[in-house]
Amino acid sequence: MLKIHIQHRWDLNEEEATSLQKELANQVITRDQLPDVQYIAGVDVAYSEHTDQLIAAVVVLDAFTLEVIESVTVKDSVQFPYLPGLFSFRELPPVIKALQQLEHEPQLIVCDSQGLAHPRRFGLACHLGVLLNIPAIGCGKTRLVGEYTEPDRLRGSSSALVDEEQQIRSLLRTQTDVKPVFVSVGHRNSLETANEWILRLTPRYRLPETTRMADQLVRKALKELENE
């Protein structure tokens, strides 16, 4: 079972949660500390439109074949309100529950979310990586903060996303002439390495296979939940 490296309370108010982000942001490692990566996990959460229930899903892929070798879903209820910049406090408790049920321990987690590209440099990918002390990457579809220019049209092209004169993210073109994704460090990897992994995970589509498979799993589980 995955061990939680750092424990903290989740029943926080907005001020307490913001203060905790600032404190834990000092724990983020932005240099490469990846072990040999055999398994990569993708995580996702989906919410019921009619109740306070949600589904958290984790898929584990073989790092070489990108085949799904394990998946877990967890049913839970919303415990934290939707507040900009505090998304991780809403989603991570059920995600961690799902991760702790895995039989195959991942050496890298890719999140459909922000990493350093966050007002307090502590998005969901950073939060998850620091709590579990596992390398993590944020790969999102949209920008939260920062300014950028579009990368070249070819697959593998990238450009910087800059906030307060600091490069906090890359725009990465995963497919030629397809809208780029926003890649940022979560924990224990460099931005260059994060880009390399996202390219490995996008052989055919814009989004990483980790994100695609987790999204499919969570949508299916949520549909089953709402049909109960």
Residues 6+ apart with CB under 8 A from 201: 40, 61, 66, 110, 208, 209, 210
Residues 129-162 have pLDDT tens digits of 999 999 999 999 988 888 888 999 999 999 998 8
What is this structure's pTM?
A: 0.95
Residues 23-77 have pLDDT tens digits of 999 999 999 999 999 999 999 999 998 899 999 999 999 999 999 999 999 999 9
Beta pairing class for 136-140 and 108-111: parallel
Residues 204-219 have pLDDT tens digits of 999 999 999 999 999 9
Q: What angle do CA 7, 35, 95 make, to 5 degrees?
A: 40
Asked if pLDDT for residue 226 goes beyond 90, the answer is no
Instruction: Quote the percentage of the chain above a pLDDT of 90.
Output: 86
What average pLDDT does the structure give for the chain?
A: 95
Q: How many other CB atoms sit within 10 Å of the CB of residue 185?
A: 31
In this prediction, residue 165 carries a pLDDT of 77
Q: How many other CB atoms sit within 10 Å of the CB of residue 52?
A: 10
